[in-house]
Structure 1
């Protein structure tokens, strides 16, 4: 009797174990839960990210120029608004003052000499008339011809001297006009101060006057030789700054340099790496931007409709990009050919067909053939 009891108990335990194993397999032994997405057609664009620096679109910077003259007086102050043509400073040049006086004397001397020659020529012609009454017109002209030729030659030389001194006067007048420094733009005086001896001797002298338009800004950056083939003047740009994270500005490419700006390091190393300056005109309200701000210029280089997946779905171990597709409850590795990346989307050129369930945000242990549960 006891033997039968133990047999019954054993059978019951075995049944319980088998049921537990079945329940475990159904409840606890399921594969990891995964989220999937289908490939779909969307409009995407490729963005070129270019670091840049904010600059004033229009500005005038005046440095001390001892060869032109010393600063005599500043006629504006910082923060003052000026219009184009306003005299903002005056220079003085003692050497130029001396040249002006010498030129005046030279012109006066040449005019006196010409007047003197005119008087002598008149006197000689009067003499010729008197002599003609005595010896005849032809003979009188013949006798006085050498003297008349000499006077006319001296007059020509005096006229040449006058012409030369007049040309000198024009040149001096231009130099004298440069003693008045005028604003070349409508704007605001950003700085105005007389240079000291240390700033004149230094390699990086500060400007005497700096005028700019604060409401008009540009951003400048550098493009690689390959990137210059992707952009063109008039192309739209989005400008962002870490200093103003909650704001962005629209911009437009206004200039791409024809000649490259080779870096000093590249020149020293003998490398051929070159970069081309690009200028972007920032549109809209730029009051929160300041010259010198570092920005990122997002240039949309390509826009088209394409088949895309979330970028998290694509893996790349350095060989070929691939994805995992759910089929019959298992993850299957599938090589794909990718195109451009646009934000959180990536273009899929080959390897996926419509209807495939592609795993996104899969677990770290995801591998080919692993059983998975789709959320």
Structure 2
């Protein structure tokens, strides 16, 4: 009997002790310390993340051409700076070369003929001077007049022939340009393929590739849903995994009105429609053509209440934050609008200057007393 009494006393003592500890903790324990942020009205923009490829905006590739004939000479080398109009590749044309050589002979022959007639006239002038001393000026002129007329006529014909030959030369020089391909841009020679001068294959590589590294663009594609949110002039932030700490500014300069054709699959089947876009990159970029990019396109900008995503709690398809008011944490349901990275617009549930808990832990609960760090 006494044993049961002592057991009862022990249990009662333990219960009293536990209640006392609980009361002590309630009365004297410090409130949970939390980090908070103030809800502010700021500008916020929504964005699309689109993969892209870095390309040259101004680029020219010259390929072998059976119509132009065999490559005679590549006049540039990799890394060489070129200006618009500089000859890059010259093609060989046997018939044209023959005509050019014949024309050179004709021009030289024309000048020789004119020089010969000029010497004949000078010789006739010497005879005229001698005859003038012998028979007088008038008689000398009458006697030599037929020879002067003959020389003058031949000189006129020779000059006409030479003029025609020089016109042919100009025409041939214009035809030469048809067999010379020049640069269409101010830039630098990117590739030179000497192996392509003899061989023409089905899959051709360019003989010469020229481009301007100063003007770069990024190309990508948008779905039929996203393309409605995009227009020319919108701002774009360009990033690359190669240089993760760098970013470049740009803007959209072209959005296709028709989707790109993949040429694959059955046209009667539903296929993903993609609309090409082009982004002009402002300023220099340290990457090379062909590098893969991520383009963050700003699609909408507005002013609203903005909080950090670190304050958000998701439960049962609903969104909550802990609102701190007079040292008490209140669980508050909110409605989210547009997002930009870690910044989120609050459409409903909060007002400016409200204080909310950042990174709320599992220890935070509705109605709990908290202290702000």
Q: TM-score range by the shorter chain?
A: 0.5 to 0.7
Indicate the residue corresponding to 1:285 in structure 2.
284
Q: CA deviation at 1:18?
A: 5.3
Aligned position for 1:106: none
Residue in 1 that maps onto 2:56: 56
The question of 1:348 aligning with 2:349 is answered no
Q: Is this contact kept in 1: 2:72–2:90, CA < 8 A?
A: yes
Matches of 1:313 and 1:344, distance apart in 2 = 10
CA distance in 2 between counterparts of 1:86 and 1:225 reads: 43
Task: Give the equivalent residue in structure 2 for 1:124.
Answer: none
Q: CA deviation at 1:183?
A: 1.2
Cα shift readout 1:247-288 (whole Å, capped 9, x = no counterpart): 3222122111222114456767922421111111111233x2
For residues 98-130 of structure 1, the C-alpha deviation after alignment (integer angstroms, 9 at most, x for no partner) is 9989xxxxxxxxxxxxxxxxxxxxxxxxxxxxx
CA contact (8 A) 2:83 2:186 kept: yes
- Whole-Å separation in 2 of the counterparts to 1:318 and 1:57: 49
Note the alpha carbon deviations across 1:300-351, whole angstroms, 9 max, x for none.
2211210122212223356333334457977654432210012322111112
Query: Structure 1 residues 198 and 313, CA, compared in 2 at 3 Å: closer, same or farther?
Result: farther
Computed over aligned residues only, the root mean square deviation of the Cα atoms, in angstroms, reads 3.8
Tell me, in whole angstroms, the C-alpha distance in 2 between the residues paired with 1:17 and 1:302. Answer: 58
In the alignment, which residue of structure 2 is the partner of 1:83? 83
Residue 237 (structure 2) aligns with: 238
CA shift, 1:358, in A, is 3.4
Q: Name the structure 1 match of 2:165.
A: none
Q: Is the 8 A contact 1:199 1:206 kept in 2?
A: no
CA distance in 1 between partners of 2:369 and 2:268 (Å): 54
Alignment match, 2:258: 259
1:37 Cα deviation after fit: 3.7
- Once residues 192 and 271 of structure 1 are traced to their aligned partners in structure 2, the CA distance between those partners, rounded to angstroms, is 43
The gaps in structure 1 that reach 5 residues or longer are 1-5, 102-171
Distance 1:14 1:345, change over 3 A: closer
- Give the gaps of 5 or more residues in structure 2: 1-5, 101-171
SS in 2 for 1:53: strand
- Residues 263 and 274, structure 1, Cα contact 8 Å, conserved in 2: no
